[in-house]
Each structure stands twice: as structure tokens, then as C-alpha cells.
Structure 1
């Protein structure tokens, strides 16, 4: 779920919002909500016996889950930065035409 949210929203946030910090804040808020919902969904499955996301041992820390979600989080920030750079280039493009011919 967080991967889908990141792919669908991170780049457009950076591209369309003029302020990059605002794009980061919106992404953090949306990611936080999605992460909480995804964790709850996976925990419910884990309690039901599905051990694909978390280990069967409740004493073991889910560091692999932390690594994957952290990587997705970082990719989101990179996509926002890339989108902001491309959006800024597009917004700052000069629409004027140079009518003087250079000789």
C-alpha cells in the first residue's frame, strides 16, 4: 500500500507544488496514514496465522519490514525532489522568442 501511495503521489506532489517543503509535509502526512493502515492490516493477518510480513516469533524485531518501508519512504522523498526540479524547470522556461538574428 505505501509503495502504491509513494509511486502515485510523490512525483506529482513535487511537480505541481511550488514549495518543496509543502510537498514533503503533505507526503509525510499521507505516508504516515498509509503506513499506519498497512501495519494494522498486516498485524491482523499475522494474528490470523499469516507470517509473510512478520516472523512467527513475537520476540523477534521486524527489521526487514523496517528496512523495506524505510527504503520506500526514502524513494518518495527522491521522487518529490525530482518532480520539483522538473516542475521548476518547466515553470521557469522562458516563453519569449529572440527575434534578433545572430550573425
Structure 2
């Protein structure tokens, strides 16, 4: 879920929003919504007996889940930055309409 949000939202937000800060904030809000939604979904599955996302032992911390989520968050900010760079170059080449 968070990978889909990252792929679908990060680059276009950087491309179409003039403010880099606004693009980063919009991406962070979309990512964090998806993160919470995904976390609730996976927790419900875990409570039902599925241990494919989280370990069976409740005392074990799912470190790899956190690493992957943090990595996707960082990749998203990179995509926002690339989108912002491409958008700024496109706006600089296009003459302003009066």
C-alpha cells in the first residue's frame, strides 16, 4: 500500500507543485495515511493468525518492516525532489503567458 502511494504520488507532486515544501508535505501526509491504513490492515491479519508480515512472537520487534517502510519514505522524498527538478526545468523553458 505504501509502495503504491509512493509510486503514484511522489513524482507527480514534485512535478506539479511549485513549492518543494508543499510537495514534500503533501507526500508525507499521503504516505502517513497509507502507512496507518496498512499497519491497521496488517495488524488485523496478524490477530487473525497470519504471520507473514509480523513474527508470531508478540515480543519480537519487526525490524525489517520498519527498515522497508523507512526506505520507501526516503525513496518517496527522492522522487519528489526529482519531480520538482523536472517541473522547475519545464517551467523555466516555457514562456509565461501574459
TM-score over 0.5 for the alignment? yes
1:8 alignment partner in structure 2: 8
Q: TM-score, normalised by structure 1?
A: 0.90
Gaps of 5+ in 2: none
Q: Which runs of 4+ in 1 moved over 2 A?
A: none
Distance 1:92 1:57 in 2: 55
More helix by share: 2
Q: Considering only CA atoms, is the larger Rg found in Structure 1 or Structure 2?
A: 1
Gaps of 5+ in 1: 96-103
The root-mean-square deviation of aligned C-alpha atoms, in Å, is: 0.8
Q: TM-score, normalised by structure 2?
A: 0.94
1:69 alignment partner in structure 2: 69
Distance 2:78 2:58 in 1: 33
Distance 1:36 1:58 in 2: 19
Number of residues paired by the alignment? Answer: 95
